[in-house]
């Protein structure tokens, strides 16, 4: 071999080694990326907190989220939910004139400055509740809906139970301190999620930055509305005993997050700690819709029915929230009930969809029948009975 040939072979070997090293490094990097989970959440200066994805309901981060705490004016989210539900049912209307009682007029704390004995449009009171957190407007609405605030409090607890707020109790519509008036960060996130889902046409009111009534302009106390364009709600709260509280929601692309901060030390503090949670969620997590409702995911055999095939799917859409960059590591499996026999009722469960990430379960949802299947005729039943002997 000539000297030049040796040089060529040496360079070729070196080049191949470089390429191999680069490929091994790339494989190593990809393998590392696949195994990296999100870092732990930031330290939050509050008595309790929670960060939830709105679509999936997945809790991304929390601390003392199920400990009983005072909600202060976060209570008004439930008052609003009830008023909006009454509007949706047609029992009351935005144009209704609401008579302001002396009790409503005398309410301490934040105010809309309504006047006793005057009639105020329900829409005005609702904006006073949402934007200004007016205790007077809140009590006026409670009395209009239920006749008295005491009866309204009963309605609040019934509604809370229906929404799954299992660790809360309410004795007034405003959140003024009371030994039997309490909630948890988990319940407040659940309530916020329901408010956004059930009344999307009115949720935008929570992003209103100011409201003027009776010649007095007041500003929304949610500082994040001015600091972060992604934030569009929801509610602040403060009493001496509850500290400074904030339930915030923000949307980036198709991902909406809900943060709950209870018992922060200052108005700026609740905004700062909420912003930290939202930034953390958007930076390190992503949410995907895997399956639509009533979409056929598999066909299965039905025995002794008027037809042999049954479509199975989900009765509600399936969302998952996972660390960013992990989507390709998801696995989905279906466990179907063996030997399905007619009659079949639409909506009945016949298995489960199970989604896992790197071998760890992240979501499950029932597989249900998407159609009815009636019992077959005598010949079909006898034929399938015979076939089943060989199954």
| 270-296 pLDDT, tens digit each | 999 999 999 999 999 999 999 999 999
Predicted confidence (pLDDT) per residue in 127-178, tens digit: 999 999 999 999 999 999 999 999 999 999 999 999 999 999 999 999 999 9
Q: Cα dist. 204→189, 208, 258, 350 in Å?
A: 18, 7, 15, 39
- The predicted model scores a pTM of 0.86
Domain limits, CATH 2.60.410.10, in the chain: 292-388
* Strand extents, DSSP E, 292-389: 298-303, 309-313, 318-323, 330-336, 340-341, 349-357, 360-369
Residues 329-355: pLDDT tens digits? 999 999 999 999 889 999 999 999 999
What burial class does residue 195 get, using C-beta atoms within 10 Å of its C-beta: 0-12 exposed, 13-18 middle, 19+ buried? buried
The answer to whether 133 is a known catalytic residue is yes
User: Can you say whether the dihedral through the CA atoms of 268, 272, 275, 281 is positive or negative?
Assistant: negative
Active site residue 76: yes
Say which of 133, 168, 173, 274 is annotated catalytic: 133
Give me the pLDDT at residue 15, please.
Answer: 42
The C-alpha atoms of residue 258 and residue 248 are separated, in whole angstroms, by 6
- From the list 55, 56, 73, 110, the catalytic residue is 73
Pairs from 36-42 (Cβ < 8 Å, separation ≥ 24): 36/323, 36/325, 37/323, 38/284, 38/285, 38/323, 38/324, 39/284, 41/277, 41/280, 42/276, 42/277, 42/280
Dihedral sign from CA coordinates of 148, 154, 158, 159: positive
Q: Give the pLDDT score at 7.
A: 46
Superfamily for the 48-286 domain: DD-peptidase/beta-lactamase superfamily (3.40.710.10)
pLDDT of 382 reads: 65
- The answer to whether 159 and 78 have CB atoms below 8 angstroms apart is yes
Q: Is 120 helix (H, G, I), strand (E, B) or coil?
A: strand
Thinking of the domain 292-388, which architecture would CATH place it in? Sandwich (2.60)
Which are the contacts of 349, defined by CB distance < 8 A and separation ≥ 6? Answer: 337, 366, 367, 368
d(CA 143, CA 247): 25
The token duo for 214 is 């009776």
Contact yes or no for 137/130 (Cβ under 8 A): no
Name the strands in the sheet holding 48-53, side by side, starting at the edge strand that comes first in the sequence: 59-63, 48-53, 255-264, 243-252, 231-239
pLDDT score, position 305? 86
Q: How far is CA 312 from CA 288, 298, 348, 351, in A?
A: 21, 5, 10, 9
Contact 348, 369 (CB under 8 A): yes
CA dihedral over 168, 160, 80, 51, signed as positive or negative: positive
Q: Which two tokens stand for residue 237?
A: 């709260």
Q: Is 265 an active-site residue?
A: no
Q: Where in the chain is the domain with CATH 3.40.710.10?
A: 48-286
Digits of tens for pLDDT over the chain (391 positions)? 454 444 434 454 444 344 344 434 333 333 333 445 889 999 999 999 999 999 999 999 999 999 999 999 999 999 999 999 999 999 999 999 999 999 999 999 999 999 999 999 999 999 999 999 999 999 999 999 999 999 999 999 999 999 999 999 999 999 999 999 999 999 999 999 999 999 999 999 999 999 999 999 999 999 999 999 999 999 999 999 999 999 999 999 999 999 999 999 999 999 999 999 999 999 999 999 999 999 999 999 988 888 989 999 999 999 999 999 999 999 999 999 999 988 999 999 999 999 999 999 999 999 999 999 998 777 666 675 766 667 6
Q: Provide CB contacts within 8 A for 104, sequence distance 6+.
A: 114, 116, 136, 137, 139, 140, 143
The single residue of 55, 56, 62, 76 carrying the catalytic annotation is 76
Q: From CA 230, how far away is CA 207, in angstroms rounded? A: 10
- Residue 340 φ/ψ, nearest 5 degrees: -85, 125
């Amino acid at each position: 071999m000539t000297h030049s040939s040796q040089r060529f072979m040496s360079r070729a070997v070196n080049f191949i080694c470089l390429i191999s090293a680069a490929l091994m490094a790339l494989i190593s990097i990809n393998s590392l990326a696949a195994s990296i989970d999100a870092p732990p959440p930031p330290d939050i200066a509050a008595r309790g907190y929670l960060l939830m994805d709105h679509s999936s309901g997945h809790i991304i981060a929390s601390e003392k989220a199920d400990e009983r705490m005072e909600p202060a004016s976060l209570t008004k989210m439930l008052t609003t939910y009830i008023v909006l539900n009454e509007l949706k049912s047609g029992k009351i209307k935005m144009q209704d004139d609401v008579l302001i009682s002396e009790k409503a007029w005398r309410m301490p704390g934040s105010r809309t400055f309504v006047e006793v004995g005057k009639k105020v449009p329900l829409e005005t009171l609702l904006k006073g509740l949402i934007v200004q957190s007016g205790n007077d407007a809140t009590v006026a609405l409670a009395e209009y809906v239920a006749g008295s605030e005491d009866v309204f409090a009963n309605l609040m607890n019934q509604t809370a139970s229906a929404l799954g707020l299992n660790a809360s109790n309410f004795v007034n519509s405003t959140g003024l301190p009371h030994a039997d008036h309490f909630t948890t960060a988990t319940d407040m996130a659940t309530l916020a999620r329901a408010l956004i889902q059930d009344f999307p046409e009115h949720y935008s009111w929570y992003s209103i930055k100011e409201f003027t009534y009776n010649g007095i302009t007041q500003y929304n106390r949610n500082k994040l509305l001015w600091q972060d364009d992604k934030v569009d709600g929801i509610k602040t709260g403060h009493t001496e005993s509850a500290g400074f509280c904030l339930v915030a929601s923000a949307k980036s692309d198709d991902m909406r997050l809900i943060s709950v901060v209870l018992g922060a030390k200052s108005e700026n503090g609740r905004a700062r700690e909420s912003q930290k949670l939202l930034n953390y969620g958007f930076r390190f997590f992503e949410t995907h819709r895997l399956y639509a409702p009533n979409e056929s995911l598999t066909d299965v055999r039905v025995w002794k029915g008027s037809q042999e095939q049954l479509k199975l799917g989900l009765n509600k859409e399936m969302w998952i929230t996972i660390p960013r960059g992990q989507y390709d590591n998801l696995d989905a499996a279906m466990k179907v009930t063996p030997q399905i026999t007619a009659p079949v009722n639409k909506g009945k469960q016949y298995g489960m969809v199970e989604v896992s990430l790197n071998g760890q379960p992240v979501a499950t949802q029932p597989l249900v029948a998407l159609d009815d299947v009636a019992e077959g005729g005598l010949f079909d039943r006898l034929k399938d009975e015979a076939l089943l002997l060989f199954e």
